[in-house]
Amino acid sequence: MSDRFKFRRRLRCDCGHECWERLDLNATPALSKLDEPCKCHTAVDIISGWEQCTGIKDKNGKLIYECDILKLYIKGKWRGICCVKWMHDEWMHTWQEVFDDKPEDSHRPPKKLWRNNDCSFEIIGNIHENGNLLDSAREQS
């Protein structure tokens, strides 16, 4: 689970360009790099704190990070949208909307983030770039 020692944070420079800074504590020495660095080289604002990798991959093989927005599938059926959070000393997913035949299922408590043959996730965004995904789920509930 060495992927759990990977982190990311969102940055914005003065020209408005945003990118991810990634930190890998597994590297010797620890390695930090920018995804799509800006060419203007101006002062940088930190938009988010460091977000840790869960060490879990989605159904497409992409690593899931804290604050990612996921589609949840149970037995191959899309069941809802959730957001990844660190709670109660473990990785949890919090429900935003459950698409089910039972309306009472639309407000479930946070659950442990796990993946098995019955349950899988697909990353569809993160709260920094795609917060509107959570807003639209709240409007539907």
For 32-77, the pLDDT digits (tens) are: 888 877 777 676 788 888 999 998 899 999 999 999 999 988 888 8
Question: In terms of domains, do 114 and 76 share one?
Answer: yes
pLDDT at 107 over 60: no
What would the pLDDT profile of 10-23 be if each residue is shown by its tens digit? Answer: 988 888 888 888 99
pTM of the model: 0.78
What would the pLDDT profile of 84-103 be if each residue is shown by its tens digit? Answer: 988 877 888 776 554 444 44
Question: In terms of domains, do 74 and 117 share one?
Answer: yes
SS3 for 5-45, per residue?
HEEEEEEEECCCCEEEEEEECCCCCCEEEECCCCCCCCCEE
Question: In terms of domains, do 58 and 42 share one?
Answer: no
Question: In terms of domains, do 36 and 65 share one?
Answer: no
* Boundaries of domain holding 130: 54-140
What is the count of structural domains for the chain? 2
Q: How many CA atoms lie within 13 A of 105 on its CB side?
A: 8
Question: In terms of domains, do 32 and 59 share one?
Answer: no
Question: In terms of domains, do 11 and 76 share one?
Answer: no
Query: Would you state the pLDDT for residue 87?
Result: 82
Question: In terms of domains, do 34 and 67 share one?
Answer: no
